[in-house]
């Protein structure tokens, strides 16, 4: 009935119709076989033809009942009683088929739901991996950029001045930067996995202090407005933007003062200004712009008078 429905239809129709022809014989039990056959036909799922095969079998059985009534002299009440029993059993078979179809559809829906949940979990995992990879890249890019600046200064001290002591101090500072970069990378991964990041104002203050100590450059930090807790994604994006802007400032305007302004209003706005010189925009700031766009923010970078100004802003939703 499931694998070859039309072969089953032919066999069951033969059983139902032939037994309906002898159902009018006195003392006959053929009606039981008619009802079993017609009920089984009603249960079969004829996907392409719907209920038309069932209607055809029912018409055949009704005609056989009429022939049996004529052959064996049964009254009209007998004929209509047989039709009533047949109709009741067909309705029962159709109800059973509908139940099985719904059960099959429910099973398919559950399987689709499991697949969708599996794909959602896989997408969430890939998104988390991408997020960790992006922010780990930003941390390492900042650390390696600062390390490159220190090594360039050490090379210049040795090549131009022969200042071994000064170059050695720069190499030691480079080593501290490397260790610090590894620590920041570990902290970034741990923070991202737990979605627990420090407050933005505190993290920016620590970053400004580190930049001032590593590069011997004056860094002025101002915080305006009512300090509010930001989402982890916003905090990480703004912090990475500040880190990249400071790295560019150290590379393109060494020794020049830097001004950071963290403003809380209808959102949060972080600006980094290089005093006294301009610096170029590289791949790092372009990456920061993409990163901020993911949290609904924007980043602009360009000359502002004699200075270079980087502004990262994330409005409230």
Which pLDDT belongs to residue 58? 86
- The whole-chain average pLDDT of the chain stands at 81
Q: Establish if 81 belongs to a structural domain.
A: no
Joined tokens for residue 21: 């022809």
In the 8-state DSSP scheme, what is residue 44?
A: S
Partners of 312 in the beta sheet?
Answer: 270, 299
Which pLDDT belongs to residue 175? 78
Number of domains in the chain: 1
Q: Establish if 231 belongs to a structural domain.
A: yes
* C-alpha–C-alpha distance, residues 286 and 294, integer Å: 13
Q: Establish if 190 belongs to a structural domain.
A: no
Which pLDDT belongs to residue 274? 83
| Separation in Å, CA 95 to CA 12, 98, 112 | 19, 5, 26
Q: Establish if 308 belongs to a structural domain.
A: yes
How does pLDDT run across 41-64, given as a tens digit for each residue? 888 877 777 788 888 888 888 898
252 pLDDT tier (thresholds 50, 70, 90): confident
Which pLDDT belongs to residue 268? 93
Q: Establish if 133 belongs to a structural domain.
A: no
209 pLDDT tier (thresholds 50, 70, 90): confident
How does pLDDT run across 144-159, given as a tens digit for each residue? 777 787 788 888 888 8
Joined tokens for residue 22: 């002898």
| Separation in Å, CA 193 to CA 129, 135, 183 | 10, 12, 16
Q: Which of 11-15, 39-43, 131-135, 256-260 has the lowest mean pLDDT?
A: 131-135
pLDDT score of 301 more than 80: yes
Which pLDDT belongs to residue 313? 92
Higher pLDDT, 224 or 128: 224
How does pLDDT run across 156-177, given as a tens digit for each residue? 888 887 888 888 887 887 777 7
Residues 6+ apart with CB under 8 A from 315: 266, 267, 296, 297
Phi-psi region at 310: left, alpha or beta (left = phi > 0; alpha = psi -120 to 50): beta
Residues 6+ apart with CB under 8 A from 109: none
Say which CATH number the domain at 240 has. 3.30.565.10
Which pLDDT belongs to residue 188? 61
pLDDT score of 133 more than 90: no
In the 8-state DSSP scheme, what is residue 3?
A: S
* C-alpha–C-alpha distance, residues 228 and 226, integer Å: 6
The radius of gyration of the chain from alpha carbons, rounded to an integer in Å, stands at 41
Q: Which domain holds residue 252?
A: 200-315
Q: Establish if 105 belongs to a structural domain.
A: no
Partners of 184 in the beta sheet?
Answer: none
* C-alpha–C-alpha distance, residues 219 and 207, integer Å: 10
* 246 exposure class (CB count in 10 Å sphere: 0-12, 13-18, 19+): buried
Q: Establish if 24 belongs to a structural domain.
A: no
**pTM for the full model?**
0.48
Which pLDDT belongs to residue 262? 93
Joined tokens for residue 253: 């305007």
Closest CA to 241 of 288, 305, 199: 288
Q: Establish if 156 belongs to a structural domain.
A: no
Instruction: Say if CB 272 and CB 238 are below 8 A apart.
Output: no
How does pLDDT run across 182-203, given as a tens digit for each residue? 766 765 665 555 555 678 888 8
| Separation in Å, CA 172 to CA 164, 179, 317 | 12, 11, 45
Joined tokens for residue 158: 């040795």
């Amino acid at each position: 009935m499931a694998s070859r429905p039309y072969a089953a239809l032919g066999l069951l129709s033969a059983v139902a119709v032939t037994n309906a022809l002898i159902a009018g014989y006195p003392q006959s039990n053929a009606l039981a076989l008619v009802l079993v056959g017609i009920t089984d036909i009603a249960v079969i799922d004829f996907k392409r033809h719907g209920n038309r095969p069932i209607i055809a079998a029912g018409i055949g059985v009704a005609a056989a009942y009429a022939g049996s009534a004529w052959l064996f002299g049964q009254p009209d009440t007998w004929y209509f009683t047989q039709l009533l029993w047949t109709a009741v059993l067909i309705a029962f078979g159709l109800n059973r088929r509908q139940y099985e179809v719904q059960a099959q559809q429910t099973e398919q829906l559950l399987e689709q739901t499991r697949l969708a949940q599996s794909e959602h979990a896989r997408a969430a995992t890939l998104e988390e991996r991408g997020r960790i990879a992006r922010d780990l890249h930003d941390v390492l890019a900042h650390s390696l950029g600062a390390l490159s600046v220190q090594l360039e200064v050490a090379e210049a001290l040795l090549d131009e001045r022969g200042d071994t002591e000064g170059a050695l101090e720069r190499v030691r500072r480079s080593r501290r930067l490397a260790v610090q970069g590894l620590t920041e990378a570990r902290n970034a991964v741990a923070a991202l996995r737990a979605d627990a990041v420090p407050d933005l104002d505190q993290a920016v203050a620590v970053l400004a202090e580190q930049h001032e100590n590593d590069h011997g450059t004056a860094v002025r930090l101002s915080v305006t407005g009512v300090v509010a807790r930001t989402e982890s994604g916003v905090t990480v994006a703004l912090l990475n933007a500040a880190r990249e802007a400071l790295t560019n400032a150290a590379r393109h305007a060494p020794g020049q003062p830097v001004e950071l302004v963290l403003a809380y209003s209808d959102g949060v706005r972080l600006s980094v200004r290089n005093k006294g010189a301009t610096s170029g925009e590289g791949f790092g700031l372009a990456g920061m712009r993409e990163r901020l766009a993911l949290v609904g923010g924007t980043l602009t970078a360009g000359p502002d008078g004699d200075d270079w100004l980087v502004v990262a802003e994330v409005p409230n939703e």
